Structure 1
Amino acid sequence: MDLDEVAGRLYALPPSDFTAARTAEARAAKEAGDAALAREIGKLRKPTVSAWAVNRAAREHADELGELLAVGEELRAAWAAQDSDALAAATRRRGEVTGRLSRLIREAADLSAAAAAEVDQTLDAAVVDADAAGEVRRGRLAKPLSYSGFAPAPVSAAPAARRKKPPPPEEDEARKAKERAETEAREAKERAEAEAAYREWSETLAEAEREHGERADKVARLEKRLAKARKRLEAAAHRLDVARREERHARARLNG
């Protein structure tokens, strides 16, 4: 058993089953004598609903996901080559394939509007970023992905001098407003991630406290039984001493 194998099993589970299964896997590793693996298993984060939905798609809709990731490769290659025709064609295919896969994921899981939006956000990240694509393909996401860089888009055919022209004031204000909105969205996302981590570790703490309490009760019961057994052993030892002493006296009278 190794971490890769365990992670594969855990991230195939619904979020509601993850924590208990992770505890069981860590305990099994520790009982097998691999404390380091047990610690690494304990560090695996419980997936959000949207992350689990994408992980599930990586297993149950591998062909459709592979098609989307292939479109992403074409899109990135066209952008690197500054091929506007190829980039436009890949962009159209991206919309079609993303929409189809997103519907499959929604049909397979009862997602809230927020979770569905996070799924789309994760798929978009996998299209434009090769590292994100690799994470999605593995099917072991703990949280949704996002891409904050410049997303490939069709290349403008405008002359260079025109492209360098400063934007009108209203466009500049719109850009600033968009940046402020993106900043707020990022802060809200970070807050949501922090809250999710807190909830997860709160659940883990509650489970650890419950398990500790159960084991402490069991030890207390065993200690009481051991104390009683020791008293019975002492009584038996006393009877044994008396019996031996009396047997010796009886044998001496018999022989005398």
Structure 2
Amino acid sequence: MEDRLADIADDLYGVPPADFIAHRTARGKELAGDKPFAARVKELRKPAPAAWVINLLVRARRAEVDDLLALGSELRAAQAALDRGEITRLAKERRALVTALAREGTQLALEAGQKVPPGVVDAVAATLDAGLADPEAADAIRSGRLLRPLQTIGFEPVDLAEAVAVPESGSRAAQKRAPERPRPRAIDDSDAELRRARTRADAAVARAEQDAAEAADEFGDLEARLRGARRALAAAEREAEALERQRDTAGRAHEKARAALDIARTRRRELGG
């Protein structure tokens, strides 16, 4: 039954949100002979706009989505190894891919007749980032049956409770509520605890370096754009000054020509012309 329900969900979560209820109702009517199963179909929830855009991307741009999510394991490996150069490279690639996919999702939604406000675009990007941070969040994205956007918070596992329609049995997405955070343990002087503390500290440093690298890249991009804008403004001002000079020159030439014309007409009248 779960496989059959997943097949129906795969179909439903590919339609625009505005059409979801109508399609779900139609599928329920088709299953009128199997009331328990029809009831489960009717329980499938309408996806949030950002979740629908992600589902659309998975269907229309699966290769690009897979390429992006594959960076997650590389980023985690680079952070574990404290490889600053690799972290910087992968962070820049991640940002470019997330931005491109979010933009592509917006275009696909427009082609499907759905406008995507800026807040939804931000939620799409945040969901893709969550898939990079957490392998199970990546699996939730790949399902193409997201119900709501995802978000990564620090080093905590992404909350996947009620985030996927017909989730895989045993996955975090199949849990009814977010897992409780473990209570802090008293730190003792054992070597094992010290190693764990160092590992957490190293991970925090790696994440901070990644964020700093991304911020530095963004700052550099904005500075370059600002310099370009200033150069364009200076060029436009120079061109405006040149055009003003040309206008003044043309004005003087026009006045001289009019004066010459007046003189020529006066002479012609004097000659009886």
Q: Given the two structures, how large is their TM-score scaled by the length of structure 1?
A: 0.56
Task: State the 1:53 CA deviation.
Answer: 0.9
How far apart in 1 are the matches of 2:120 and 2:83?
35
Q: Which residue of 1 aligns with 2:66?
A: 66
Select the residue among 118, 127, 130 that pairs with 1:122.
Answer: 127
| Aligned residue number for residue 29 of structure 1 | 31
Equivalent pair of 1:84/1:154 in contact (CA under 8 Å): no
Change (3 A) 1:154 1:75: farther
Which aligned pairs between 1:161-180 and structure 2 lie closer than 5 A?
Answer: none
In the alignment, structure 1 segments of 5+ residues that lack a partner are 159-256
* Equivalent-residue separation in structure 1 for 2:78 and 2:205 (angstroms): 9
Aligned pair in 2 of structure 1 residues 77, 52: CA closer, same or farther (>3 Å)? same
SS at 1:2 equivalent: helix
Residue 100 (structure 1) aligns with: 100
Residue in structure 2 matched with residue 252 of structure 1 by the alignment = none
Residue 239 of structure 1 corresponds to none
Matched to 1:58, the amino acid is: V
What's the offset of the Cα at 1:75?
A: 1.0
Given that residues 2 and 37 in structure 1 are in contact (C-alpha distance below 8 angstroms), is that contact kept between their aligned partners in structure 2? Answer: no
Aligned letter for 2:21? T
The alpha-carbon distance between structure 1 residues 81 and 29, as it changes in their structure 2 partners (threshold 3 A), is farther
Residue 37 of structure 2 aligns to which amino acid in structure 1?
L
- The count of corresponding residues between Structure 1 and Structure 2 is 156
Contact 1:19/1:46 (<8 A) preserved: yes
1:154 CA drift (Å): 6.3
- TM-score by structure 2 length? 0.52
- Spell out, residue by residue over 1:160-198, the C-alpha distance to the aligned partner (whole angstroms, 9 max, x if none): xxxxxxxxxxxxxxxxxxxxxxxxxxxxxxxxxxxxxxx
Deviations 1:60-91 (A, max 9, x none): 11111111101112112222333333222221
> Residue 79 of structure 1 contacts residue 153 of structure 1 at CA under 8 Å; is this kept in 2?
no
RMSD: 2.4
* 1:139 to 2:144 alignment: yes
Matches for 1:1-256 after TM superposition, within 5 Å: 2-31=4-33, 33=34, 35-109=35-109, 110-150=115-155, 155=206
Query: What secondary structure is seen at the aligned counterpart in 1 of 2:149?
Result: coil
> Gaps spanning 5+ residues in structure 2: where?
110-114, 157-202, 210-273
Return the offset for 1:8.
0.4
State the alpha-carbon separation in 2 of the partners of residues 5 and 105 from structure 1.
23
AA of the residue aligned to 1:15:
P
C-alpha displacement at 1:153, in angstroms?
7.1
Percent of residue pairs bearing the same amino acid type = 36
Q: Deviations over 1:75-121 (max 9, x none)?
A: 12222333333222221211111121112112222311111111111
